[in-house]
Amino acid sequence: MMWNKALCGPRRRSGRRWASLAGAVALGAAGLVTVPAAAPAYAASVPCNDAALVTAVAGVAATGGSLSLASGCTYTLTAADNPDNGLAVITGSVSITGNGATIVRSSTAPSFRIFEIGSGGTLSLTGLTLRGGSVTGQGGGVLVNGGGTLNSSRNRFIENTATSDGGAISVLASGTSTSSADVYTDNVSGLHGGAVNSEGTSTLTNAAVTGNRAVEGGGVNNDTGTSNITITGSAFSRNIVNGSTGDGAGADFDGGTVKISNSAFSLNTTTRTTTAGFAGAIYNDANLTVTGSSVNRNTLTTAGSGAQGGGFYNDGTLTLVNSTVNRNSVNGTADNDSGGIYNDGTLVLQRSAVNENTVANGAAGGIFNNGGSVTATDSSVRDNTSSAAPGGISSTNTSVTLSSTSVTGNQPTNCVGSPVPIAGCVG
């Protein structure tokens, strides 16, 4: 019989088809059948209806699934779905695409957070605003329990509050949070981390952290030696610590390993209503490495004396690489130290600048080393000002090493007046 190309198609393609089928049979006989890749999970559309959202989340919370919210819709939660949470606790793998929608707790509703992620649960959020969560406890917007995972991208966390830790997000030990291109604004914590508190593993990339408040860590806080935080390409500005205690309006790192790169901390304010106060921008008692970043124009103020560290207060290990600590200020009635960096631990500067910082009613506009160690290489401590000498670097021990580092233009002196002379520093 003659092959009819018009009716049956090219013989070559038919041959390949039969060859493929034959191969599949052979693989099957050998117990090696290849399973086709699964199709992308279907995202169920959630209409712009408050009850529909509650029902939809409850339907996927344990079993997993994908939801797509109505574009630009505001879903208002008026009651808790379960104790402390407006929506069902996530224990499966759940993905929610916000499409610019907002989930908000009603201002007249009782206190509850928006989401909680249980052990083994994964919640992925994209293009959504979480607003007005309020909880007695941790995580006003989202609580990530140990073994839980939050993946957040292009979301906004606004005006969430927690009486304890993490106004917007709290990550407990062994929990994981990844934040990309998110915005954190006006969140409030009664204790630690106005925006984010982490005792697990947290990553912030291209985040904007602005106007958040806490007792410690107005922007971000970690509280354990096992936590790890990585911050990249992010901006922390106008965050606030205000009260009789508290430190680090931008961030407070109390342990673990922290890496900051290509980020900016500016215009953060720590205000103590009593004596003593630490870190206008960053309090560090961790292993902290800062690369290609700026800590500029932050302010520490106390109502009494003993304000220390307009930019940094370091009680751990702080390494600055290609970074600036400039134009920070310390204000108090007496005995203040270090507009730039107050060091009680190990401080390493590489190709970095501590310039134009100021101290009112105290000494060491640039760096005050109180029993720690300072190693500065290819760096500058320049044009800092204090009311008492020295204006550049002051140290209580001989553990200050300057290599190819300029200490110039500081007022009233560069290093003269330091309790212990600084080798290699003139004036």
Question: What number is the average pLDDT over the span 417-426?
Answer: 96
**Per-residue pLDDT band at 5 (split at 50, 70, 90):** very low
387 backbone φψ class: left, alpha, beta (φ>0; ψ -120 to 50): alpha
Q: Is residue 408 part of a domain?
A: yes
Beta-carbon neighbour count of residue 47 at 10 Å? 11
Peptide bond into 40 cis (omega under 30): no
Tokens of 391: 């204006």
Does a structural domain hold residue 182? Answer: no
Report whether pLDDT(327) > 90: yes
**Which one, of 416, 405, 402, 311, lies nearest residue 358 by Cα?**
311
Contacts of 128 (CB under 8 A, 6+ apart): 69, 96, 97, 98, 100, 101, 102, 103, 155, 156
Distance CA 87, CA 98 (A): 15
Q: Encode burial over 87-102: b for 16+ CB neighbours within 10 A, e otherwise.
A: bbbbbebbbbbbbebb
- Mean pLDDT of all residues in 32-39: 38
Query: What single letter denotes the amino acid at residue 250?
Result: G
DSSP state of 411: B
Contact 361, 330 (CB under 8 A): no
> Is pLDDT above 90 for 284?
yes
Q: By three-state DSSP, how is residue 57 classified?
A: helix
Q: What is the pLDDT of residue 275?
A: 77
What is the per-residue pLDDT across 400-409, written as a single tens digit (0 to 9) for each? 999 999 999 9
- Domain containing 401: what range? 238-427
391 and 422 in contact (C-beta within 8 Å)? no
For residue 375, how many C-alpha atoms fall within 13 Å in the half-sphere facing its CB? 7
What does the pLDDT look like over 141-191, one tens digit per residue? 999 999 999 999 999 999 999 999 999 999 999 999 999 999 999 999 999
Determine the length of the chain.
Answer: 427
348 or 35, which is more confident?
Answer: 348
Residue 1 pLDDT > 60, yes or no? Answer: no
- In eight-state DSSP terms, residue 123 is E
Q: Which residues is 340 bridged to in the sheet?
A: none
pLDDT higher than threshold 70 for residue 316: yes
Q: What is the pLDDT of residue 427?
A: 92
- Check pLDDT > 70 for residue 23: no
Alpha-carbon dihedral 253, 269, 215, 283, rounded to 10 degrees: 20
Answer whether residue 35 shows pLDDT above 50: no
- d(Cα 149, Cα 133) in Å, to the nearest integer? 19
Distances (CA, A) of 249 to 26, 284, 291, 312: 66, 12, 20, 10
Q: How far apart, in whole angstroms, are the C-alpha atoms of residue 390 and residue 358?
A: 12
The three-state secondary structure class of 372 is coil
Query: How does DSSP assign 228-272, residue by residue?
Result: EEEEES-EEES-EEEESS-B-SSEEE-SSEEEEES-EEES-EEEE
Q: Write out the two tokens for 90.
A: 């996530």
The mean pLDDT value for 296-314 works out to 94
Indicate the range of 18-32, 124-138, 244-258, 386-400 predicted with least confidence. Answer: 18-32
Q: Span 61-75, mean pLDDT?
A: 98
* This prediction's pTM: 0.90
Q: What is the mean pLDDT of the chain?
A: 91
Which among 380, 387, 395 is positioned nearest to 412, based on CA atoms? 387
Q: Do the domain assignments include residue 422? A: yes
Q: What is the pLDDT of residue 18?
A: 29
pLDDT per residue over 217-262, tens digit each? 999 999 888 899 999 999 999 999 998 888 999 999 999 999 999 9
Structure tokens at 350: 């590489």
In a domain, 247, yes or no: yes
**pLDDT at residue 42 in the model:** 63
Q: How much of the chain exceeds pLDDT 90, in percent? A: 84
Examine residue 330 and state whether it is found in any structural domain, yes or no.
yes
Closest CA to 224 of 177, 259, 257, 247: 257
Tell me the average pLDDT across 132-139.
98
In a domain, 298, yes or no: yes
Residue 167 lies in a domain: no
Answer whether residue 368 is part of any domain: yes
pLDDT tens-place string over residues 368-392: 999 999 999 999 999 999 999 999 9
pLDDT at 155: 98
Per the model's pLDDT, the better-predicted residue between 223 and 118 turns out to be 118
Q: What's the total number of domains in the chain?
A: 1
